[in-house]
């Protein structure tokens, strides 16, 4: 069976699920059927994707591969340009033979004035790997959603669950389409659709103002990055004449083209390659939430938890990294761009790790952890560790999807104890001792934790170690800086994850006496608004009105109709209304149903085992499948440095030990102070408030945009229109003078003649039409005058 | 699209039929008794539908590999002045004709609730549409102008009588602006007529005569002609008539006005100004593109600050039409293709917007103030769905008509004026911000007025019209090549003329830059 030829089905299956669920109402009405359709579609996609991976691994990419790359690339490899060859040499020996072999198919989609854009797919080694990862993680998340979305959020019917499945199916389809795209335009189309889906999914509980704001923030922030990326594509298009991946003439990785981009100087003395790379990288900064566009990702936790797993582990954020990996041949042409990439990545890694230390929301800790880990990947790409970056992308997708789903399971269990209030159910201070209630969740979560913390023999250890080793192995300043930064970040990672584990799964269970919601920590309200804030939904009157309604409706919310007003009261609860959920308190946290635990187990297997795809050579011992990933990607295997690996292991263990020591006995009660806060209140506050970046943006960009819009509106109303109205009044005046002259000077003799038409004339003069004609004549005269001036002037 | 092979259709004057059927409809309605309101509505809808079918026939039969202008009809009208009845359709014109067909058909459906002076309303509406159809198919400049005026003038009465909010002011302002435009156009027209020395209004002759208009002539008369039409396309600083007019106009007129009439301006810019005077276009392009940059960004920012739902849409039109003119002014094949695609995309999208905002919402709630609306998705889920489709197109989301159009415009503009493309990029997130804000405030959130829950449901006419327009938005987004080949076929000759003009200018010099060839040569690099 030729899986390559069937690859087009992979994105079309979830897309088909989306279309069917959305447009066929029998499916739409039933949660079970709509969910099953999406899950089955994903299951088939998993089979196809893994079939592709095995076929690629065993048989290569077939005859199609030679036609693409080899001859053209050979010339480049010989280094016709000295700098080009040197540049490659410096980047840890990354060689691009047009991505190894590739299999591609395409059909014409749309023309432009000069060329035609195709829609097609291209499978090469990184694509096969990504497909396998995305489909598998996507399948697990779909299955998990079946259990997670089943609870009583939407009593009046199950339409919203169907919508949820249609959205995540579309999301997965976009991601898969993006991975398979054979040109940057299709890549960009899928990329944008993913942005749209993230908006729909983060804002899925749209009746929560916080969810809506988070969705809008995510959409607009990533879109800012997208604009730059789009400009990068235009630039590339004007240079290359197409946006097709490949090394042949007229394709974007054509050696002659890359050489030209390398040598051509453009704005601010940058080379064209630098400009294009940086513009494209801005897309990554938005999508993969790198500093300074990282602000959307933590807020995006407002979406349902499976969405967090999908967006923040397996798909959307991975897309940004994948973009750089995909267009890497262009990045390689620019030392400057790679340095920027490395710097942004390393900074984000440590910046986000620091913030994660001081968060209390279980999902937000994971969100900042995601930022930090994405920083690792981006930094890896920046220092030339292409394989390491991709490797970490894959392992991270598994263990982070596992952690997010695990946190979903935790929240699901917690809701039995504290009710459906995210401020309570997600606050780690209200948890504790959950190990005893949720065995499977605990066990799988621990695997994810050990992988993320970088404990040896878990997947995260291998991939992170490879990044760090690559940085160290560069041997230049940038390498050492990145090495140092990432090492500290991995210490912090181990620390904050240990903190989370200790507080969530060990110690006493504190959920029966949850913390009162601190307005400072009330995430649903603390999110600053980045665009005009005159959204009346937040006006005090409305909020208090909904609170008033809350008391009377919340107790019966399992049966009332889902009007938005009611929905808002059920979810957007605030301090002081917690007792409305009193009927929950009798329950202990419970383990989740099989639809939720099975995905956890599957992901846990991969979170543990994915690292063995690229195990290094240690002390000359041969393992089967050693460096498999590097070979598969046709890159040189990274050298294993026992010193670097040892230091990294020690740092991880130190972080774990520190976390254990500090949080072993912390939080006897939910209201206790964090041990770190007790020791360093000032620092803790800054970290807890995420370095006040959100506030900074709201005060600068947000306010400016708002003010600027109003200012221009004022200008338009008063200056532009004022001028027009002024001209109107002036013309009227002129017309009157005209009329007086006409009437008294010229018209005297014709008085008698005019008398017959006087009545009609008077009538006409009163009407607006009469005035219009006057104006028109005057204007016309004026224009004629201008025309005459023109004629004489030229 | 060449889907109807040559020779299958009988050789009939289809283009004349397209506008004449509207005239027939107008006459029938004029003779119907004043009480037969439903008969009038049905008549208007029926003739609109027939004209739509005719435009689709022309679209299907147009051969993108054949000559640029097909379906030629030529007859003498006033031979002594060189005026003829000369109709023909090229790809751009056909795209516009089909657009107009869809908008008037859906507009007739949307006008079903007009109760006041039904007869006059439909007669004027149909006359307006005759004018619009005529402009898109005329190749005689005089005829072109006659149709143009025919399209502009009924607008005054339609807004003034059937409009809402400050309708007299809106109608007056609109008419005055457009008359200023007309005055400029007349100047340009007469200049072309006398300047060529041919004493003809035949545009093909005017475009192709040797040695052609002199550089100085084009320098002087390109701008009057261009500005005259650009006023109708809402170019900064002549745009303020458009939001006021949109807000004041009755729904179907807003649809036609923003959907088609503004395209008439852009079409005129391309057909009468850029095509006839390519050197002038090359010389003035930097000035024009700077103004359109203001349109795009300024319009988007202002749209964000509005509290009136229709004003938001009105200013978004200013912004999007700015993109159209920007695409035209970048003077390369990609950008002009993009501009024409955007004309279609914006036409459909904005018609959909006004159908939802004006008819489905305002006519029921009697308020357009955003703070007073809210939660309408529960009352009219279908209207919310339609508006979201339009909104996505407005944001340039892939899968909707707006994406490919904007992508081409930006790509073309980048090739010639990278800085302009970068600055215009600011409008993209701003557009997303105001569209999302409006969707949120109007359709989601809480219902602010419990009366809304008792509003009448959507009628079948509204649903039909909305479905047609939304389907078009998606269809054109997924298959841009449905219209692209024929547009490309017709843009290519224009671009060829522009390229020749550019070479000429490189040797002659650009008077705008001090008439110094060397300066121009440096600028070219």
Tens of pLDDT, residues A748-771:
545 544 554 554 455 445 444 445
CB contact, 8 Å: B183 with chain A?
yes
CB contact, 8 Å: B403 with chain A?
yes
Residue of A nearest to B425 (CA): A227
Which residues of chain B from 207 to 246 reach within 8 Å of chain A, CB to CB?
216-217, 219-221, 224, 237, 239-240
Q: What are phi and psi of A612, to 5 degrees?
A: -75, 0
Q: Where are the alpha helices (DSSP H) in A475-582?
A: 477-505, 523-526, 540-553, 564-571
Q: Where are the alpha helices (DSSP H) in A288-434?
A: 296-299, 305-309, 316-326, 328-332, 335-357, 362-382, 386-418, 422-425
Q: Residue A512, SS3?
A: coil
pLDDT at A27: 64
Chains A and B form CB pairs within 8 A to the count of 204
Q: Do B488 and A780 touch (CB under 8 A)?
A: no
Q: Do A716 and B302 touch (CB under 8 A)?
A: yes
A173 CA: distance to closest CA in chain B (Å): 14
Mutate to test the interface with B, among A194, A204, A211, A234 (most CBs of B within 10 A): A234
CB contact, 8 Å: B421 with chain A?
yes
Total count of residues recorded for chain B: 525
Distances (CA, A) of B147 to A68, A524, B90, B122, B258: 56, 58, 17, 18, 18
pTM above 0.90, yes or no: no
Rounded-to-integer distance, Cα B234 and Cα B215, Å: 27
Q: Do A199 and B436 touch (CB under 8 A)?
A: yes
Beta partners for residue A121, in sequence order = A105, A181
Which residues of chain B from 461 to 480 reach within 8 Å of chain A, CB to CB?
479-480
Rounded-to-integer distance, Cα A515 and Cα A669, Å: 9
Q: Do A113 and B336 touch (CB under 8 A)?
A: yes
Rounded-to-integer distance, Cα A110 and Cα B434, Å: 29
A615 contacts A626 by C-beta, under 8 angstroms: yes
A454 contacts A460 by C-beta, under 8 angstroms: yes
Which residues of chain B from 302 to 361 reach within 8 Å of chain A, CB to CB?
302, 304-306, 332-337
Q: Do B186 and A780 touch (CB under 8 A)?
A: yes
Render each residue's pLDDT in chain B as its tens digit; 525 residues. Answer: 667 776 777 778 888 999 999 999 999 998 988 888 888 899 999 999 999 999 999 998 888 888 888 888 888 888 888 889 999 988 899 999 999 999 999 999 988 888 888 888 899 999 999 999 999 999 999 999 999 988 888 888 888 888 887 788 888 888 888 888 888 898 888 888 888 888 888 888 888 888 888 888 888 888 889 999 998 888 888 888 888 888 888 888 888 888 888 899 999 999 889 998 888 888 888 889 988 988 898 888 888 888 888 888 888 998 999 999 999 999 988 899 999 999 999 999 999 999 998 888 888 888 888 878 877 877 888 888 899 999 999 988 888 998 989 999 998 898 888 888 888 888 888 898 889 888 888 888 777 777 777 888 888 888 899 999 999 999 998 888 888 888 888 898 899 888 888 888 887 766 666 554 444 444 443
Rounded-to-integer distance, Cα B218 and Cα B207, Å: 12
Which long-range contacts (C-beta less than 8 Å, at least 24 apart) are formed by A69-72? A69/A97, A69/A98, A69/A99, A69/A100, A69/A101, A69/A102, A69/A246, A69/A247, A70/A97, A70/A98, A72/A98, A72/A247, A72/A248, A72/A249, A72/A254, A72/A255
Q: Within 13 A of B251's CA, how many CA atoms are on the CB side? A: 28
Residue of A nearest to B421 (CA): A231
Which residues of chain B from 490 to 519 reach within 8 Å of chain A, CB to CB?
491-492, 495
Question: In this complex, which of A219, A537, A563 lies closest to B378 when CB atoms are compared?
Answer: A563
Rounded-to-integer distance, Cα B405 and Cα B412, Å: 11
A458 contacts A447 by C-beta, under 8 angstroms: yes
Q: Do A237 and B216 touch (CB under 8 A)?
A: no
Q: Do A772 and B180 touch (CB under 8 A)?
A: no
Show the tokens assigned to A512: 């029966």
Show the tokens assigned to A505: 């799964």
Question: In this complex, which of B183, B305, B407 lies closest to A779 when CB atoms are compared?
Answer: B183
Q: Where are the alpha helices (DSSP H) in B70-140?
A: 91-110, 118-137
B482 contacts B1 by C-beta, under 8 angstroms: yes
Rounded-to-integer distance, Cα B109 and Cα A670, Å: 63
CB contact, 8 Å: B440 with chain A?
yes
Across chain A, how many H-helices and E-strands are there?
A: 36, 2
Residue of B nearest to A784 (CA): B187
Q: Do A196 and B397 touch (CB under 8 A)?
A: yes
Q: Do B240 and A716 touch (CB under 8 A)?
A: yes
∠ at Cα A700 (A694, A706), nearest 5°? 105
A680 CA: distance to closest CA in chain B (Å): 39
Show the tokens assigned to B436: 């999302």
Residue of B nearest to A199 (CA): B436
pLDDT at A655: 86
Question: In this complex, which of A212, A238, A537 lies closest to B414 when CB atoms are compared?
Answer: A238
Mutate to test the interface with B, among A712, A729, A781 (most CBs of B within 10 A): A712
A210 CA: distance to closest CA in chain B (Å): 12
B432 to chain A: which residues are within 8 Å by CB? Answer: 219-220, 223
Q: What are phi and psi of A93, to 5 degrees?
A: 70, 40
Question: Tell me: the pLDDT tens digits for A78-131?
Answer: 332 323 333 333 333 444 444 456 677 777 777 766 677 878 888 888 888 888
Rounded-to-integer distance, Cα B47 and Cα A660, Å: 80
Classify residue A240 as exposed, middle or buried by CB count within 10 Å of its CB (0-12, 13-18, 19+).
buried
Residue from A198, A398, A232 nearest A304 by CA: A198
A121 contacts A106 by C-beta, under 8 angstroms: yes
CB contact, 8 Å: B419 with chain A?
no
Q: Do A565 and B412 touch (CB under 8 A)?
A: no
Centre a 10 Å sphere on the Cβ of residue A44 and count the other Cβ atoms it contains. 17
What is the value of ipTM here, to two decimals?
A: 0.86
Mutate to test the interface with A, among B445, B450, B470 (most CBs of A within 10 A): B445
In chain A, which stretches have pLDDT less than 70?
Answer: 1, 25-29, 60-102, 112-114, 150-159, 517-587, 615-626, 634, 636-640, 724-725, 727-728, 731-732, 735, 738-794
Question: In this complex, which of B397, B399, B481 lies closest to A111 when CB atoms are compared?
Answer: B481
Which helix (H) or strand (E) is B53 found in, with range?
helix B37-61
pLDDT at B364: 83
Instruction: Quote the crossing angle between the two packed helices A209-240 and A255-263, to the nearest 10°.
Output: 100
Sign of CA dihedral A215, A216, A220, A221: negative
Residue of B nearest to A790 (CA): B220
Which long-range contacts (C-beta less than 8 Å, at least 24 apart) are formed by A694-702? A694/A295, A694/A527, A694/A528, A694/A530, A695/A528, A697/A295, A697/A528, A697/A530, A698/A528, A698/A529, A698/A530, A701/A530, A702/A528, A702/A529, A702/A530, A702/A531, A702/A533
Residue of A nearest to B374 (CA): A537
Show the tokens assigned to A420: 């459906």
CB contact, 8 Å: B199 with chain A?
no
B436 to chain A: which residues are within 8 Å by CB? Answer: 199, 216, 219-220
A775 to chain B: which residues are within 8 Å by CB? Answer: 176, 179
∠ at Cα A498 (A497, A501), nearest 5°? 85
Q: Do B440 and A234 touch (CB under 8 A)?
A: no
B384 to chain A: which residues are within 8 Å by CB? Answer: none
Q: Do B375 and A565 touch (CB under 8 A)?
A: yes
Residue of A nearest to B224 (CA): A787
Question: In this complex, which of B187, B378, B428 lies closest to A223 when CB atoms are compared?
Answer: B428
Total count of residues recorded for chain A: 794
Mutate to test the interface with B, among A23, A28, A108, A110 (most CBs of B within 10 A): A110
Q: Do B176 and A568 touch (CB under 8 A)?
A: no
Residue from B267, B289, B260, B314 nearest B101 by CA: B260
Q: Where are the alpha helices (DSSP H) in B274-395?
A: 278-304, 309-329, 333-354, 363-365, 376-379, 381-395
Residue of A nearest to B179 (CA): A776
A532 CA: distance to closest CA in chain B (Å): 8
């Amino acid at each position: 069976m030729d899986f390559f030829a069937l690859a087009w089905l992979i994105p079309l299956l979830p897309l088909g699920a989306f279309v069917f669920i959305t447009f066929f109402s029998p499916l739409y009405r039933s949660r079970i059927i709509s969910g099953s359709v999406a899950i089955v579609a994903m299951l088939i996609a998993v089979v196809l994707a893994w079939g592709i991976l095995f076929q690629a691994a065993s048989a290569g990419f077939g005859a199609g591969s030679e036609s693409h790359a080899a001859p053209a690339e050979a010339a480049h490899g010989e280094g016709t340009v000295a700098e080009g060859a040197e540049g490659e040499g410096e980047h840890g020996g990354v060689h691009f033979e047009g991505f190894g072999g590739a299999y591609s198919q395409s059909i014409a989609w749309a023309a432009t004035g000069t060329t035609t854009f195709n829609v097609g797919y291209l499978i090469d080694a990184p694509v096969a790997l990504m497909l396998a990862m995305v489909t598998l993680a996507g399948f697990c998340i779909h299955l998990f959603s079946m259990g997670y979305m089943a609870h009583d959020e939407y009593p009046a019917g199950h339409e919203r669950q169907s919508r949820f499945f249609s959205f995540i199916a579309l999301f997965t389809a976009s991601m898969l389409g993006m991975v398979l795209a054979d040109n940057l335009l299709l890549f960009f189309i899928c990329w944008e659709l993913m942005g749209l889906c993230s908006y729909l999914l983060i804002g899925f509980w749209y009746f929560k103002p916080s969810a809506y704001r988070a969705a809008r923030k995510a959409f607009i922030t990533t879109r800012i990055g997208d604009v730059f990326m789009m400009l990068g594509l235009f630039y590339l298009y004007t240079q290359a004449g197409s946006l097709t991946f490949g090394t042949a003439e007229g394709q974007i990785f054509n050696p002659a083209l890359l050489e030209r981009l390398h040598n051509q100087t453009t704005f601010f003395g940058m080379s064209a390659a630098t400009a294009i790379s940086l513009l494209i990288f801005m897309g990554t900064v938005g999508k993969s939430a790198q500093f300074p566009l990282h602000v959307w990702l933590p807020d995006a936790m407002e979406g349902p938890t499976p969405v967090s797993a999908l967006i923040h582990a397996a798909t959307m954020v991975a897309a940004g990294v994948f973009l750089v990996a995909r267009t890497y041949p262009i990045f390689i042409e620019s030392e400057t761009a790679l340095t920027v990439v490395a710097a942004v990545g390393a900074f984000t890694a440590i910046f986000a790790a620091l913030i994660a230390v001081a968060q209390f929301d279980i999902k937000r800790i994971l969100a900042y952890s995601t930022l930090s880990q994405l920083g690792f990947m981006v930094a890896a790409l920046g220092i030339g560790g292409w394989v390491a970056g991709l490797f970490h992308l894959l392992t991270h997708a598994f263990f982070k999807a596992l952690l997010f789903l695990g946190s979903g399971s935790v929240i699901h269990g917690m809701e039995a104890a504290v009710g459906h209030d995210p401020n309570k159910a997600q606050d780690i201070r209200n948890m504790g001792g959950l190990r005893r209630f949720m065995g499977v969740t605990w066990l799988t979560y621990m695997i994810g934790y050990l992988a993320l913390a970088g404990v040896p023999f878990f997947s995260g250890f291998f991939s992170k170690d490879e990044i760090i080793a690559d940085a160290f192995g560069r041997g230049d300043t940038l390498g050492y800086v990145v090495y140092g930064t990432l090492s500290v970040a991995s210490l912090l990672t181990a620390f904050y994850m240990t903190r989370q584990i200790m507080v969530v799964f060990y110690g006493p269970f504190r959920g029966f006496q949850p913390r009162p919601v601190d307005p400072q920590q009330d995430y649903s309200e603390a999110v600053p608004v980045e665009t005009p804030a005159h959204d009346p939904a937040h006006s005090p009157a409305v909020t208090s009105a909904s609170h008033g309604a809350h008391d009377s409706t919340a107790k019966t919310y399992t049966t009332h109709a889902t009007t938005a007003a009611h929905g808002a009261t059920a979810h957007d609860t605030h301090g002081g209304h917690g007792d409305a959920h009193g009927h929950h308190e009798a329950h202990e946290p419970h383990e989740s149903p099989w639809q939720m635990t099975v995905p956890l187990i599957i992901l846990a297997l991969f979170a543990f085992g994915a690292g063995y795809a690229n195990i290094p050579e240690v002390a000359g011992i041969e393992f089967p499948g050693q460096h498999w990933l590097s070979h598969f990607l046709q890159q040189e295997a990274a050298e294993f440095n026992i010193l670097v690996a040892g230091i990294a292991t020690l740092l991880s263990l130190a972080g774990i030990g520190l976390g254990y020591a500090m949080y072993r006995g912390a939080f006897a009660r939910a209201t206790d102070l964090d041990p770190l806060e007790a020791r360093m209140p000032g620092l803790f506050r800054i970290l807890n408030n995420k370095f006040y970046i959100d506030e900074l943006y709201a005060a600068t960009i947000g306010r400016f945009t708002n003010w600027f819009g109003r200012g221009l509106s004022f200008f338009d109303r008063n200056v532009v229109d004022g001028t027009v109205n002024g001209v109107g009044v002036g013309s009227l005046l002129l017309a009157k003078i005209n009329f007086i002259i006409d009437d008294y000077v010229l018209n005297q003799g014709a008085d008698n003649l005019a008398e017959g038409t006087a009545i009609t004339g008077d009538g006409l003069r009163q009407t607006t039409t009469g005035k219009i004609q006057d104006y028109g004549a005057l204007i016309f005269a004026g224009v004629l005058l201008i025309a005459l001036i023109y004629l004489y002037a030229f | 699209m060449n889907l109807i092979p040559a020779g299958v259709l009988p050789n009939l004057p289809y283009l004349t039929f397209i506008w004449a059927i509207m005239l027939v409809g107008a006459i029938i309605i004029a003779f119907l008794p004043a009480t037969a309101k439903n008969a009038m509505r049905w008549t208007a809808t029926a003739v609109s539908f027939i004209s739509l079918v005719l435009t689709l026939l022309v679209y299907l039969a147009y051969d993108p590999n054949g000559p640029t202008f097909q379906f030629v009809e030529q007859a003498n009208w006033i031979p002594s002045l060189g005026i003829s009845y000369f109709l023909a359709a090229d790809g751009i014109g056909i795209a516009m004709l089909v657009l107009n067909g869809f908008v008037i058909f859906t507009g007739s459906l949307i006008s079903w609730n007009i109760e006041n002076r039904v007869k006059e309303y439909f007669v004027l509406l149909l006359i307006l549409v005759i004018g619009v159809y005529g402009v898109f198919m005329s190749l005689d400049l005089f005829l072109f102008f006659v149709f143009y005026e025919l399209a502009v003038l009924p607008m005054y009465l339609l807004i003034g009588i059937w409009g809402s909010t400050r309708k007299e002011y809106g109608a007056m302002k609109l008419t005055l602006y457009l008359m200023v435009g007309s005055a400029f156009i007349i100047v340009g027209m007469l200049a072309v007529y006398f300047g060529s020395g041919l004493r003809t209004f035949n545009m093909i002759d005017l475009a192709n005569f040797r040695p052609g208009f002199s550089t100085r002539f084009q320098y002087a008369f390109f701008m009057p002609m261009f500005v005259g039409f650009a006023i109708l396309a809402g170019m900064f600083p002549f745009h303020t008539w458009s939001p006021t007019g949109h807000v004041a106009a009755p729904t179907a007129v807003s649809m036609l006005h923003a959907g088609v009439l503004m395209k008439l301006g852009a079409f005129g810019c391309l057909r009468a100004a850029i095509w006839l005077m390519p050197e002038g276009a090359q010389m003035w392009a930097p000035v024009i593109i700077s103004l359109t940059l203001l349109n795009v960004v300024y319009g988007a920012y202002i749209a964000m600050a509005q509290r009136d739902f229709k004003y938001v849409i009105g200013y978004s039109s200013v912004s999007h039409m700015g993109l159209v003119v920007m695409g035209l002014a970048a003077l390369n094949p990609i950008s002009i293709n993009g501009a024409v695609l955007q004309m279609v995309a914006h036409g459909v999208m904005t018609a959909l917007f006004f159908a939802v905002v004006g008819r489905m919402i305002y006519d029921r709630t009697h308020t357009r103030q955003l703070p007073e609306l809210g939660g309408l998705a529960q009352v009219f889920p279908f209207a919310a769905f339609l508006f979201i489709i339009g909104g996505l197109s407005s944001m340039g989301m892939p899968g909707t008509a707006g994406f490919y159009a904007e992508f081409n415009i930006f790509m073309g503009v980048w090739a010639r004026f990278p800085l302009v493309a970068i600055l215009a990029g600011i409008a993209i997130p701003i557009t997303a911000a105001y569209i999302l804000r409006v969707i949120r405030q109007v359709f989601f959130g809480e219902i602010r007025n419990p009366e809304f829950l008792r509003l009448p449901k959507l009628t079948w006419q509204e649903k039909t019209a909305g479905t047609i327009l939304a389907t078009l938005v998606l269809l054109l987004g997924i298959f841009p090549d449905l219209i692209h080949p024929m547009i490309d076929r017709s843009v290519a000759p224009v671009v060829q003329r522009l390229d020749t003009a550019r070479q000429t200018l490189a040797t002659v010099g650009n008077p705008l830059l001090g008439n110094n060839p060397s300066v121009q040569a440096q600028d070219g690099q």
